[in-house]
Structure 1
Amino acid sequence: MKMMPEKIKKSLMAFTAGRKKLQQSTGLADFGRKLVRDTRGMSGAIMVASVIPIIAIVGLATDVSRAYIVKQRLGTALDAAALAGGRVLNDTAAVRRAEIQQYFDANLPNGFMGATVEGPYEVDEDGNVLAEDYVYGNDEDVLRLKANADVNTVFLQLFGVDSLDVNTDAEVTKEISLLDVVVAIDLSGSMQTSDVGGGSRIYAAKQAAKTMINILFGNNAENPLLKIGVVPWSGAVNITNNGSKYGFEADGVTPLAAADLYTTVAVSPSVANPYEIQYYSFDKLCEGSKWSPDCSSAIPGNGYEVLKNYQATINNIYYAHNAPSVPLLAEPPTGWTGCVYARYAREEAWQYKQTPSSDNSTSLDEAADIYDGPVEIVGGKSWIGWYPIGDENEYSNYVAYDFNGDGSIGSSEKYYDGYRCDMGRLANETSSCTPCPDYGITKLQSVKQVVWDAIDDLDATSGGYTNIPQGLVWAWRVLSPGLPFNEASVISANSNTINRAIILLTDGENTRRSGDTYNRMLSDRNNRLLEVADAIKNDPDNNIQIYTIQFAESSGSLATLLTNVATDEDHYYFAPDAATLNTIFEEIANELSSLRLSK
């Protein structure tokens, strides 16, 4: 057998190897085709492939949510800061900035959610940042703030976004919605003292009150939404129109005709006079008798009725030409200076040399000094008006009489000397009486200049004393709708909010004098003052806020009293000097100006 040639052998071997490779290649292809057709485990593969975009979406939502929370908190803080700054808009820049920053920080803690905050900044209407020492004029009533925050991201840093910027702004507009205010200023003699810096106490009080007027009115000569009244007071209140003089024309010089002095209005049915004349009469010379006109004296005509133009039955009430809304129980006496009694009538008789008691329970129960307008006490007196005070409460010129005939005026004859008024004699007091204040009431009105002039003209009354209950109660009467004054704002179709406030300023404790509006018979003036304050606070129709200011005198008991008179302790202020007093009036004015978020 011949051997196969070598060349052919190699070819067969190559063919066999190629066949094996071909067989192997066909197996891999089959495996590939099977793998493609097999769907088992595909969800896991898809999930692995989508992890990266899911992480990106979740990260974006998380970081954006954090930024949104910061923006909300930033807006809340900026609103609070704007309202706080608006309340002191016309104060110094330092005070305003401090208020803004304090309320902003309180509502957005430092580092909140890792944010870096810029602001708050005060800006103008075009968004330009104002200087830190910017001072707002009285005619500017809008405060604008803006702030921004840089919020660090957590997940978005993986995609090159390190932080998100958020910003917001706020705007408040100061506006007054039907605001009635009465300023009741103490004109007692101590207000002439110059110990508060910058002049006398009364000068400082006037300047501070005018600061408040400037803030409330701004540059407006008249504001129909704002009414301010002024009640000057000391031992009494002059209830006539400020600047007027009874019996004279507006010029204070030309006498009025008798027919024009007052208007008479009949009372039907008539009522008994709440003042009983037996308690308001004395015999100027007769020792040993009661103070009544029934003592038989060696000198005829000495039985003396203290009250002027007295009638036991009230058939008419009278309206003086310069107090046309205050009903009087008697014709105004000649030379009437404008004051009235406090609707507290004594009901006790006493002997010639006795000092009458005070706070007679019946007198208190039947008094109407703590009421607003005319009132009838249940089961008691009808107080349909006020009794005018004549010269019985002024210094008199009766000549002392030596009825003992010993050539001198003894202590028993002091009751009719030439230095005390008749009401002082009636009260068996040797201290002098005090005059009615020269300044009358400025009724609620909307004209800035009239209010400004009324305050600017004030001066303390020499020899005047302090009767705080009368100052407060007449402020209430001026502020409340209805008699005896009726200038107060009322709800109309164009308004639904009325704010009413009394600002009561005094520099001392209550005092008593002969011939005061309580006939000196009411000693506990403090309790009476608290009763007046309670009546005002409990007035359901008027919602009156009472601000009290203790000026110059640092008495602890007075502080306690005035704190209790105020609406609450936040409405009581102590001003040791003129600068502090001015700041207090600024603060009150800004509180009275209602603020609204306008953006």
Structure 2
Amino acid sequence: MTRLARDRGANVAAMMAVAMIPLAALAGSALDVSRMYVVKSRLQQACDAGVLAGRRFMATDGGTTLDATATAQAKTFFTNNFGAGYFGAANARFTPSKTSDQQVAGTATVQVPMTVMKMFSMATADLTVTCKARFDIADTDIVFVLDTTGSMACRPEDTDTQCNNYVSANSARAYTRPGSDPDAMPGYLNSTGYAVPETTAGNGSRIKALRQAVKDFAAVIASSVDSSTRVRYGFVTYTSTINAGKAIYQVAPSYLVGGAANDKWDYQTRWITDEYVASWSGTANGKSSANCGTVMGNRAPLTAPAFASDGTASYTGGQLWNSKDNTCYGNVTRNMGPVYTYGQRKLDVTGFVAGKTVGDPTKVAATNTAWDGCIEERATQSGTTNFTSASYDLDPELIPSNGTDTRWRPMWADVEYNRLLTGVSPDTTNGDDNNKHQNFGGVDRRQLGYYSCGKPVHRLSAMSNADIAAYVDASDFRPLGGTYHDTGMIWGTRLLSGSGIFAADNAGRAGQPVPRKVIVFLTDGDMSPNAALYGLYGVENFDKRVSNGDTGNLTNYHNARFLYECGRARQLGIDVWTVAIDTSSSDQLTQCARNSSQALYTTTGSGLSAIFQKIAKQVAMLRIDQ
């Protein structure tokens, strides 16, 4: 034993045997730690995937508990990203939850079996990770371009035939427009509007579904922003024209024809060129035909063909021979009526554009009229589908200059008249406003949508969810008129142009990137122009500003304008989404969107809300917060 104790070789062997125990533990722990690292990395990835999915599908209801759909989606994505038995891991658990700031957080746990360390009484290791996803959004400007034509009164699921039958059977009804609206000209406020009554069948009308979809969009965006983010909204409701008068006037009255003294514009109108005897009365005086000379008598007002403010003019003290009863009448009073000539004529619009109540120059009786804010577009190229810089209407960046070509013109429905397309020229009538010579401001023309001045444009501004709801729930957010996609796209693009008349609205904040620009374009039908209505380009039958007389191809000309303006929007960096309440997206809507995946469609109200929420989630950037 003494000799063994003194044997240095044996001592080293014993010491090595003892040292192997911690060395084995150290090597084993390194192996197991490496496994734990790999498993934890995958667990974190799965946790992130789960909360991202949960946030994407989360209901934006303001509640404090994560809804069942979002919870299920979150768990599914977690499971798909962390397979059962991954590196031998077991008992993987994932718990998603809604946070106080309306985002989604999650906690994931798993047990990892030890390989070597289990020999040292450590059979498993518990791993835990946390994660959180949020929608986040940079400064963004969003313009809704919304179809508010008559067919929006129909159900989303209605076919074209069903919708046409509904609109034909339900005449537009009168309503009173709001008495207060900062976007409206004085002549619009408290005036009478007309709208097709919305269907109450099923789940209601298309425009009802649109109101909800816009609110749902705003709710998603609101849940995605923090106090340091600026999101602004603009609205363009479109039919055959646009109510942009106040928006332009606020920037510079001089941008409108009428914004300078003695400005005049051409209207398809009428004026008095003569007079005729509308009725007469007198007393038989017994004179023969030979002795019954024609005497007109004294006129009031004195000068023909002037009429008094009550619309009357007469000759008194006259004489005439009535061939119907072969009788001479004396002391004759002749009540006169106006003979109108119809055609294009310049009218002074200075007071009209300034928001004043002015006299209607086409009526013999004193009649007041005021501008509702709808406009005629500036100069364009006619009869073509290929446009150059001479099409001022299609240039969202062009600032108006002197003259009328680059300025917008006020629509004046009360003085704009229909007339015969063929026949004797000039076209005249004896003052009877029959069906062929009605003005577009009359009840009949407005009820039928031949003049459909809608809700005023709202320029970009910060809007709360309540503000947005107030816009789409307003009494004048109603359906009437025909579908002209180009009118809406022209003005949606113009509102977002950083160098046009609304450049100041589009300015970014100091020290911040240029705001992202988005257009959400909604319609329920194809382009449907009518050469007989009064719209953004006047009355096409007479003005010929779009077709140059080739009205058979009017739809093609308007589609070309629409697609051209979609291209201008993309050139300006605007992210365009199109949405159709239809069984498919038309070729034009698909071409207009930034890409085909952004041309969406549906035939249900719930589907419309889902699409708008989908767009909002794409606009908002989903990201991992921790």
TM-score (norm 1): 0.65
Q: Give runs of aligned pairs for residues 123-138 of structure 1, distance below 5 A.
A: 123=97
Aligned counterparts, 1:347-496, within 5 A: 358-359=383-384, 366-374=390-398, 384-391=406-413, 396=417, 417-418=436-437, 434-448=450-464, 449-457=466-474, 458-462=476-480, 464-486=481-503, 488-493=505-510, 495-496=512-513
Name the CA distance, whole Å, in 2 between partners of 1:303 and 1:560. Answer: 41
Q: Which amino acid aligns with 2:371?
A: W
Residue 376 of structure 2: SS of its match in structure 1? coil
CA displacement at 1:373 relative to structure 2 = 3.2
Contact 1:343–1:369, Cα closer than 8 Å, also in 2 = yes
CA pair 67-369 structure 1, distance change in 2 beyond 3 A: same
Question: In the alignment, which of 588, 594, 602 is matched to residue 561 of structure 1?
Answer: 588
C-alpha distance after superposition, 1:484-515 (max 9, x if no partner)? 33463533335336232111110000111134
Query: Are 1:532 and 2:565 matched, yes or no?
Result: yes
SS at match of 2:95: strand
**Equivalents in 2 of 1:262, 1:529: separation in Å?**
25
Instruction: State the Cα deviation string for residues 12-62 of structure 1 (Å, max 9, x = none).
Output: xxxxxxxxxxxxxxxx98xx489826x5x9877765654443332221111
Secondary structure in structure 2 of the residue aligned to 1:417: helix
- Taking the aligned partners of 2:18 and 2:207, their CA distance within structure 1 comes to 86
CA distance in 1, matches of 2:404, 2:16: 95
Shift of 1:162: 2.0
Structure 1 residue 78, shift from structure 2 partner: 1.8
What CA deviation, in whole Å up to 9, does each residue of 1:85-113 have, x standing for no partner?
A: 32343358243224423443454334322
| CA shift in 2, pair 1:94/1:530, >3 Å | farther
Render the CA deviation track for 1:407-447: whole Å, top value 9, x for unaligned: x9xxxxxx99335869xxxxxxxxx8721323111222223
User: Is the contact made by 2:523 and 2:580 (CA closer than 8 Å) also made in structure 1?
Assistant: yes
Superposed, 1:216-235 pairs within 5 Å as 216-217=221-222, 225-235=230-240
> What is the CA distance between 1:402 and its match in structure 2?
8.2
Q: Is the contact between residue 241 and residue 374 of structure 2 (CA under 8 Å) also seen in structure 1?
A: yes
Structure 2 counterpart of 1:591: 618
Aligned mate of 1:118, from 86, 92, 96: 92
1:57 aligns with 2:26: yes
Residue 238 and residue 470 in structure 1: after superposition, are their counterparts in 2 closer, same or farther (change >3 A)?
same
Q: CA deviation at 1:369?
A: 3.0
Tell me which amino acid in the other structure corresponds to 2:391: A
Deviations 1:288-324 (A, max 9, x none): xxxxxxxxxxx998473266559xxxxx9997559xx
CA distance in 2, matches of 1:88, 1:498: 26
Q: Judging changes above 3 Å, is the alpha-carbon distance between structure 1 residues 158 and 263 closer, same or farther for their aligned structure 2 residues?
A: same
* Structure 1 equivalent of residue 597 of structure 2: 570
* Offset from partner CA, 1:306-355 (integer Å, 9 cap, x none): 66559xxxxx9997559xxxxxxxxxx954332223445366xxxxxxxx
1:87 and 2:106 correspond: no
Distance in 2, Cα, partners of 1:481 & 1:445: 14
Write out per-residue CA displacement over residues 233-270 of structure 1, whole angstroms, 9 at most, x where no aligned residue: 0111111349x9x9xxxxxxxxxxxxxx9984599xx9
1:338 to 373, 379, 382: 373
Structure 2 letter corresponding to 1:544 = I
User: SS state of the match for residue 372, structure 2?
Assistant: coil
Structure 1 residue 205 displacement after superposition: 0.6
In the aligned structure 2, how far is the partner of 1:489 from the partner of 1:364?
A: 25
Residue 152 of structure 1 corresponds to 113
Higher strand proportion = 2
Shift of 1:148: 0.8
Q: Which has the larger radius of gyration?
A: 1
The 3 A distance-change label for structure 1 pair 434 and 53 is: same
Pairwise CA distance, 1:528:
2.5
Deviation at 1:579, TM superposition (A): 0.9
Which residue is equivalent to 2:161?
Answer: none
Q: Which amino acid aligns with 2:40?
A: K
- CA positional deviation for 1:67: 0.8
Q: CA deviation at 1:212?
A: 2.1
Distance in 2 separating the partners of 1:201 and 1:484: 33
* Residue from 173, 180, 198 that aligns with 2:141: 180
- Decide whether the 8 Å contact of 1:374 with 1:383 is kept in 2: no
Residue segments in structure 2 that go unaligned for 5+ positions in a row: 61-65, 158-201, 250-255, 274-337, 357-367, 442-447, 541-545, 548-553
Match of 1:236 in 2: 241
Return 5+ residue gaps in structure 1 as ranges. 1-27, 126-138, 247-260, 286-298, 311-315, 323-332, 348-357, 409-414, 423-431
Secondary structure at 2:521 match in 1: strand
| Separation (CA, whole Å) in 1 of partners of 2:407 and 2:497 | 17
Shift of residue 453, structure 1, vs aligned partner: 1.5
Find the partner of 2:577 among 528, 547, 550: 547
Hey, what does 1:500 align to over in structure 2?
A: 517
User: CA, structure 1 residues 360+387, in 2 after alignment: closer, same or farther (shift >3 Å)?
Assistant: farther
Are 1:344 and 1:364, in contact at CA under 8 Å, matched by a contact in 2?
A: no
